[in-house]
Structure 1
Amino acid sequence: MATANGTKQSMTITRCSIGSDGKVYVEDKRNYKLVINPSEFSHERRICYNTRPTLGQTGNPARFSAVQPDKISFSLTFDGTGVVPVPPGNDAPAEVAGQIEALSRIIYDYDGAKHEPYHVQILWGTLIFYGRLQKISTQYTLFKPSGAPLRAKSDLGFVGFVTARQGQLTANRSSPDLSHSVEVRAGDTLPLLCLRIYGDSRYYPQVARFNGLREFRRLEPGQRLHFPPLG
């Protein structure tokens, strides 16, 4: 996955916390940047309906019951052979065991204060997903003579979550606390789009960095930009 200026963007998984105000706070210093991005990922959405028939019913209409949390899954490759170069700014351990341990500290560790796994943000290109690890399965495929792994593949599954506050905001799709994807039209400028979405044009530097823009003053019609939630 590359940014608008052509540089590679690594998938980043960051630990999150839920504040007393119901907002999600991303702990920027507790993250793991992948050295090798997934080759694909799946995103599942499911709506449940009640189809139980009642006595004497001649038809069986499907009645809406609930919207299930989103789910995503993908596979990660960990390499310790040195063949794959580590991108600049990525401090991932060189050894496969260290890479898996660093990732586990973000996605698998248990929050003792709340007695539950940590929440995470998964950010990659147009994907902005908040959830918690549901499953992880790791297969080791190459080893040193000592038995230390040189390559491994992990299959991961995450289940999404929505706070009570987010559930209320979802009813208002224009809320600045939700993620937005916008197609640029003729005459659009980044400050103008920020004013339209956030109600404040001064957020344009952050949006430019998020989208990897260098020449944000010249937007091309048809270009798609992503506006992350505030806070």
Structure 2
Amino acid sequence: MALASAENTPLKITACVDNKGDVKPQSGADKTISLLINPSQLKHERSICYSKEQPMGDTGAGRQFSHMQPGKLSFTVILDGTGVVPRPPRSALPDEVDDQLKALSRVIYDYKGVVHQPSIVQILWGKLLFTGRLTSFNVDYTLFRPSGAPLRASVALSFDSYTSSKQKKKEDSASSPDLSHLVEVQDGDTLPLLCERIYGDSRYYAAVARFNGLRQFRALQPGTQLHFPPLE
């Protein structure tokens, strides 16, 4: 698929299941939600932990690596029920703010009895693809009807990244063709050459061209960013 502009593409959150180490997005109207108003900011945090044991006389450089902390993604979205915000064609988002909150909760927050926890979710927006689990869900109501029904709400969301057992094994080899890669085209790069470099087989160039929506893939422009999906 072609990467669309983040300005024209709604942020989409989809509930997923971890099936024997494979995280798969679910289908269905209650399994996904596309926002009407995109966030104005995203905060993506990463951190590394080192051993607290410090050798005598060491100034800090000698501390041993301990572990990687889960990545954190946080952003605030606006839910609007005033009707003044244009809706994209075929939008399934409810009209009322309360119903929008319920739809969002079903995807990211509600307890699922089968797996005994809320859903793992996939957050997709432009070039962002984040898989994680909700850690906080805070709602501020900012506009009301005379009856007290909310017309607008600000929702602050935070997620911790989630890595399946199978993905963790793949990450033991950073160059694994089973991982998704985002590559910036350099001068002289060709699609077959990049496929050979990533997959070890240049014949995947046609599939990668289709995945990225490329029409003129024989002359790649330097600076273009291409997604190389994992091999099935």
| TM-score (norm: length of structure 1) | 0.85
What is the CA-CA distance between 1:62 and the residue it aligns to? 1.8
1:111 paired residue number:
112
What is the CA-CA distance between 1:179 and the residue it aligns to? 2.4
Q: Is the partner of 2:170 in helix, strand or coil? A: helix
Two-structure CA RMSD over aligned residues (Å): 2.6
In structure 1, what is the Cα distance between the partners aligned to 2:87 and 2:229? 27
Which ranges of structure 2 fall in alignment gaps of 5 or more residues? none
Distance 1:187 1:81, change over 3 A: same
Distance 1:113 1:165, change over 3 A: same
- Please list the CA deviations of residues 67-123 of structure 1 after superposition, one character each: whole Å capped at 9, or x if unmatched: 111001000001111111112232111111111111111000112122111100001
Contact 2:6–2:126 (8 Å) recurs in 1: no
2:155 maps to amino acid: S
2:22 paired residue number:
23
Q: Is the partner of 1:168 in helix, strand or coil? A: helix
2:14 paired residue number:
14
2:50 maps to 1:46: no
2:72 maps to amino acid: K
Contact 2:17–2:120 (8 Å) recurs in 1: yes
1:58 maps to amino acid: G
2:208 maps to 1:207: no
2:88 maps to 1:84: no
In structure 1, what is the Cα distance between the partners aligned to 2:27 and 2:147? 36
Distance 1:186 1:130, change over 3 A: same
The number of residue pairs the alignment matches comes to 224
- Please list the CA deviations of residues 1-35 of structure 1 after superposition, one character each: whole Å capped at 9, or x if unmatched: x9557871111101111112x11111143211111
What is the CA-CA distance between 1:145 and the residue it aligns to? 1.4
Contact 1:191–1:203 (8 Å) recurs in 2: no
Which runs of at least 4 in structure 1 moved beyond 6 Å after TM superposition? none
In structure 1, what is the Cα distance between the partners aligned to 2:129 and 2:6? 20
Amino-acid identity (%): 49
Residues 179-218 of structure 1 mapped to structure 2, 5 A cutoff: 179-186=180-187, 188=189, 193=194, 196-198=197-199, 199=201, 200-204=204-208, 207-209=211-213
Distance 1:6 1:58, change over 3 A: closer
Distance 1:187 1:90, change over 3 A: farther
Q: Is the partner of 2:142 in helix, strand or coil? A: strand
Distance 1:37 1:46, change over 3 A: same
Which ranges of structure 1 fall in alignment gaps of 5 or more residues? none
Residues 96-175 of structure 1 mapped to structure 2, 5 A cutoff: 96-175=97-176
Q: Is the partner of 2:212 in helix, strand or coil? A: helix
